[in-house]
Amino acid sequence: MLLSLPLLDSLDFSNLSGHECIALLCWHTGLDTFLDRYSFFVAMGYLTICHISRIYIFHYGILTTDFSGPLMIVTQKITTLAFQVHDGLGRRAEDLSAEQHRLAIKVKPSFLEYLSYLLNFMSVIAGPCNNFKDYTAFIEGRHIHMKLLEVNWKQKGFHSLPEPSPTGAVIHKLCMTLVALLLFLTLTKTFPVTCLMDDSFVHRANFLTRLGYLYVVMQASKPKYYFAWTLADAVNNAAGFGFSGVDKNGNFCWDLLSNLNIWKIETATSFKMYLENWNIQTAIWLKRVCYERVPWYPTVLTFILSALWHGVYPGYYFTFLTGILVTLAARTVRNNYRYYFLSSGTLKLVYDVVTWAVTQLAVSYTVAPFVMLAVEPTISLYKSMYFYLHIISLLIILFLPVRPHAHMQRQPQTLNSVNKKKAD
């Protein structure tokens, strides 16, 4: 039950096992003080070498079995575990944020626990990444019970703890995967991305038409991600893993491991809101291992890490470098102008409609290289769009003033900082 190695038959097991062995060697030879750094650089380095060898040395491209997906998930788990062990054994409790303190691991896992966490059958192929403490609680049968104890059931008229069932959540998510699969199979053929680079289309259609078609094509590319991530979430729920507690209406929630919120993605009114609801567990991983821990340029370094983790296709780097500009520009605009529209409901509605349209178009422009992968089609597309978003973002960053409250504290509050504020 714990290892389920037969599921790896269709994968390149040598790469997976090599990844774990190297990380495990680092795990047992590194001092607790540097465990997080050793594990991070070894895991990311090995993943990057595999990305490069798969594409540029062995010329696998995108036509053969892609073993990088499971490696990417394992890399997240190795580094997540390393940082959480480091927080528990190598740092003082008062230097940790509330979340880091909650997730900190005080005792190194055994070899079996380590392999079980990395290679369990529920997430070895498509993820998502999860916390070691949550996984251990699930294996030991405490996962649901712990969440239920957070609610006062006697006030709700219960004499004993209820027994949440994942059946409803699993059926709902499987229905969503079916819809997503049907949309993917139909929309990708109807709106091919190759049309964006077609010379006749570029020269015949005006700028607004090309911009609108870009939005439609990027929308058509989403269902495959909706399918994979929702199915992975359903698999974990079917095994009984993923219970997150009870919402304000008393409903049982099975979204602890959810990787996306489709409604919030499609109605996002800011670049930040979009990213927070897309590939959620990866965004959380980036935040915990990079954004909250690096001393300089957290936004830039987080985007660079995200690009390295995804692979070495040039399109990924176009997307994430563009994403840095758009994120900084969007943050500047929001800090400068949003408060003008909060005085009335009508103005707020106008602001939401405009920012929704701008966000959706900006995301489509930013992620197009991620779909195209190569340099030539990316440059061709951006030239046909006159690099409009790059230019606007640079002008905003260079000429709009940065309001004081834009420099909000990035680092999470530690117990030390909380105690200091109380003393002041």
Report the largest interatomic distance among the alpha carbons of the chain, rounded to a whole angstrom. Answer: 71
Rounded-to-integer distance, Cα 309 and Cα 304, Å: 9
The angle that helices 13-29 and 35-52 make with each other, rounded to 10 degrees, is 160
Rounded-to-integer distance, Cα 194 and Cα 217, Å: 10
Active-site pick, 51, 310, 335, 390: 310
Q: Supply 253's token pair.
A: 């929630």
**Listed residue (239, 277, 238) closest to 258, CA to CA:** 277
Rounded-to-integer distance, Cα 73 and Cα 130, Å: 10
Active-site pick, 237, 279, 335, 390: 279
Query: Is position 279 annotated as part of the catalytic site?
Result: yes
Query: Is position 310 annotated as part of the catalytic site?
Result: yes
Whether 40 contacts 79, CB under 8 Å: yes
DSSP codes of every residue in 251-288: -EE--TT--B-HHHHHT--SHHHHHHTBSHHHHHHHII
Residue 248, exposed/middle/buried by CB under 10 A (0-12, 13-18, 19+)?
Answer: exposed
Rounded-to-integer distance, Cα 65 and Cα 68, Å: 9
The angle that helices 298-310 and 68-89 make with each other, rounded to 10 degrees, is 140
Cis peptide before 128 (omega within 30 of 0): yes
Q: Supply 91's token pair.
A: 């740092």
Could you give the residue numbers annotated as active site?
A: 279, 310
